[in-house]
A and B are shown apart, each in its own frame.
Chain A
Amino acid sequence: MTHPPNAPAAPAAPGPARAPARPAGVPAQPAAAPAAAPAAGRGAWAVGRERLRVATTTEPGRLQILGAVLALLVVAFGAVTALQVDDRATAADDVVSRSQPLSADAAAIYRSLADADTTAASGFLAGTLEPEESRKRYDRDIATAARLLVKAAASTDGSGESAREIATLNEQLPRYTGLIERARAANRQGLPLGGAYLRYASQQMTSTLLPAAERLYAAETVHLQEDDESARTWPFLSLGLGLLVLAALVWAQRRNYTRTHRVFNHGLLAASAAAVVVVLWLLAAHTIARAGLDSARAHGQESLQVLNSARISSLTARANENLTLVARGAVLTEDGKNDKYEAEYTSSMGALTDALATAREWADDDAGRGPVDEAATRTAEWKQRHKDARAKDEAGDFDGALGLIVGSKESGRSTGQSFDQVDAALERALAHEQAEFTRSAADARDALTALPLGAAALGILGAAGAVLGINRRLSEYR
């Protein structure tokens, strides 16, 4: 980056160049304070003004000024373009490598915490000896949340909303796990106190941890949108300056032509070519980048959201399914007609089915549709198994229903297994859409990467061309 040092020269030069205009209009003014000014200073001022006056009235002088102004304009154009595009390239890079992953991580933190809580509560159904599967799942959820929290903490700047939420989550997570372990210890001894601790832990989760995770996701999503917006903003200053530079170069060449009847000045022509290249490059790169970001938003981000909501619906449905057994069917909906958890289960399964249909519609290739179809098939299977379980429970066969819903892994016929299969398929679908997003957004970023350097280099080349072109004319006067 050699141009920024040049940039300050730009405003300095037009100063003296324009300065003659004022003394010419108001010649008496500098003389208004002659007594105070030292003689030498006054002399230098006068000499400088005189020189400028001569320069503006003679052709070589005018050419010198013209050359300087053209060179400065071209350099300024290159510099501004480099800076503005660099901003956008940085923003696009942030989308790909920082804000979107952070937003996805925040969603994953939320999901892990929610899943841990559901798993811990479901373990209660199993009895004194929590199934190994359930324990592992809980451990994995907590580990995921803890790992992602560290990652998120490293990516935030230590202040602001995200940092605050991360701090809350880090403080509360050990407290939550502590309560869960107390619950397990009591449960192991066959004491109902375990249930009280489980409730306490769940209360911490719902009232403190999950809201903090939700706010973290919201904050990170705002960052993502900000980065996305700043990456896609057109660099208007740079484009305007580019047009100005081109107009000035055309004008200079036309002036040259009218005075000398020479059609081509190689230097000025080179400068024009450089400016045209930068302008076209700028337009093309930005169009590509915006297209990439649009595609990332449409195919990636939105698919990710609908898949996330599908995953959450399946989690809700599963939780409610467990509850029908925990509550043993005596908790009613507000109208007192139906089993509350069964009703909640049904509506969550409906939401899951709808989300899967939308996700399938939005999936733009077979690789994306595959796991979504798989999830839909497993959901249908889950519904059927659930129906069988309900029939057993209605008939008073509680243990039979429990077997169909919690079931052992070996039996392979429980709704718990269906839930796991749906979840796994959705995870694959999410991974696919995440890759799509990253690819599109990375394309957008790559379209911009070379531009700042190119604009800077072409700016310098163009300025050199303009100076050389003018100098060539100037040499004719010597």
Chain B
Amino acid sequence: MPNGAYPLVRRTAQRFRGWGGVAAMAVACGLTASLTLLPLAHGGDAAAVPGTHGGAGIGTGVQIKADTCEKPWASLTPSSADGPSIEAIKQRGKLVVGVDQSSYRWGYRNPETRALEGFDIELARAVAKDILGSEDAVIFRAIPTNQRIAALDSGKVDLVVRTMTINCKRIQQVAFSTAYFQAGQQVLAPKLAKDITGYDTSLKGKRVCTAEGSTAYEALEENSFGALFKDEGDGTKDDKDLLTVPNQLDCLARLQMGEVDAVVTDNALAAGQAAQDPAVELKGRPFTTEFYGVAAKLGNDDLVRRVNQVLVRYRQGPWQRAYKDWLEKDLPGITGPPPPLYK
């Protein structure tokens, strides 16, 4: 967003001495405006695939079997043994977890309590309780999409629990736990829009909103059924952010403003959107299969094994309770967590 202001600033600054102040103000505002809210702009990351694999996402991830990775969601065997990274966390006394703060029901900041809560947050607390003995021994850091891996690499966070999809591209960069949730791409539209029936020909001529670089966008690129889903200048600084937006939640704002007709995103996140607006609903069936995992820095095997150990127990009850508390209302009919798969 500040990018738009720079050329202006530069031009004006050349013209007027002392206008630098106002130029600085433009930058200030760019910062204030975009950056204040930037951390909120990432909910779509579960669907965001940094790579350019044509039609990435798990649905196609399965097809890549013959390629380099067979089942990216296969993780290390569980273990409670302490290793160097667990030791470091114990020494610090706090587990630092990168989370989302605007994905309703998953990881979001409750404006009333100012506390982070949701399905992902509960899982992070369960890990903290297992390692440090208290579910409050955790520091949450809200991470934007593009810095998830950098945050892990630089050691700013120990874990990322943030509706993060496990895929072949990402397992090259970070280590994932076993899958803790199964999701899929789905269409969201107003209840009154009876003519939209799902990811099919009913999208023809409709304006469809997706998060930038998401699997949803890539799916539409492959087959859009005649829907309008691209902005002028997509992928460049001049992106108008009309049909492709930084955050899946931005799509709901545009849907409410009548600027788009439908949204494509993970059903897990779409359910969160539907929960915020009783006038919209999920249409049709999910058309991909994706698994969410907890990410750690590549090489921190002891931590990954420990998380897998936590997940073994978490699947026996706590998972179902968290599902009931946070997700069942908007995402009904899920009988249990996906079974773990080990290497």
What residues of chain A have their CB less than 8 Å away from a CB belonging to chain B? 107, 110-111, 113-114, 117-118, 121-122, 124, 127-128, 182, 186-188, 190-200, 202-203, 205-207, 210-211, 214-215, 217-218, 221, 301-302, 305-306, 308-313, 315-316, 319-320, 322-323, 326-332, 336-337, 340-341, 344, 348, 351, 355, 396, 398, 402
Contact = CB atoms under 8 A, between A and B. Distances in A.
Contacts of A355: 21
Contact of A121 (B33, B157, B246): B33
Contact of A206 (B12, B29, B252, B277): B29
A336 B150 contact: yes
Contacts of A327: 38-39, 141-142, 144
Most buried by B among A301, A337, A348: A348
Contacts of B113: 127
B4 interface: yes
Contacts of B139: 396, 398
Contacts of B30: 206, 210
A268 B301 CA distance: 109
Contacts of A194: 111
A311 B43 CA distance: 34
A196 B257 CA distance: 12
A316 B23 CA distance: 12
Given A330-B157, A331-B147, A332-B154, A196 B250 contact: yes
Contacts of A191: 104, 276
B297 interface: no
Contacts of A311: 21
Contact of A128 (B38, B112, B254): B112
A196 B249 CA distance: 6
B21 A305 contact: yes
Nearest to B110: A190
Nearest to B40: A195
A295 B114 CA distance: 53
A317 to B, nearest CB: 9
Interface of B: 1-2, 4-5, 8-9, 12, 15-22, 24-41, 43, 94, 98, 101-104, 108-114, 139-144, 147, 150-151, 153-154, 156-157, 241, 246-247, 249-250, 252-254, 256, 273, 276-277
B252 to A, nearest CB: 6
A344 B31 contact: yes
What 4 pairs between A and B have smallest CB-CB spacing?
A: A309-B21, A305-B18, A202-B33, A316-B28
A309 B12 contact: no
B35 A117 contact: no
A193 B253 contact: yes
A200 B4 contact: no
B141 A329 contact: yes
Main secondary structure of the interface of A (DSSP, over half): helix
Given A315-B28, A336-B154, A309 B18 contact: yes
A313 to B, nearest CB: 6
Contacts of B39: 323, 326-328, 331
A206 B154 contact: no
B18 A302 contact: yes
A330 B26 contact: no
A190 B21 contact: no
A337 B154 contact: yes
5 contacts: A202-B36, A210-B29, A214-B12, A316-B28, A332-B156
A332 B39 CA distance: 12
B19 A218 contact: yes
A124 B36 contact: yes
Given A114-B29, A199-B250, A332-B154, A218 B142 contact: no
Contacts of B35: 319-320, 323, 331, 340-341
Given A210-B26, A329-B141, A336-B150, 17 more contacts: A128-B111, A128-B112, A190-B110, A191-B276, A192-B43, A192-B276, A206-B4, A206-B30, A309-B21, A310-B21, A312-B22, A312-B25, A319-B31, A319-B35, A326-B142, A332-B151, A348-B28
B214 to A, nearest CB: 15
B139 to A, nearest CB: 5
B24 A316 contact: yes
A312 B25 CA distance: 5
Given A316-B24, A328-B141, A199 B37 contact: yes
Given A190-B112, A398-B139, A198 B32 contact: no
Contact of A196 (B29, B102, B112): B102
Nearest to A317: B28
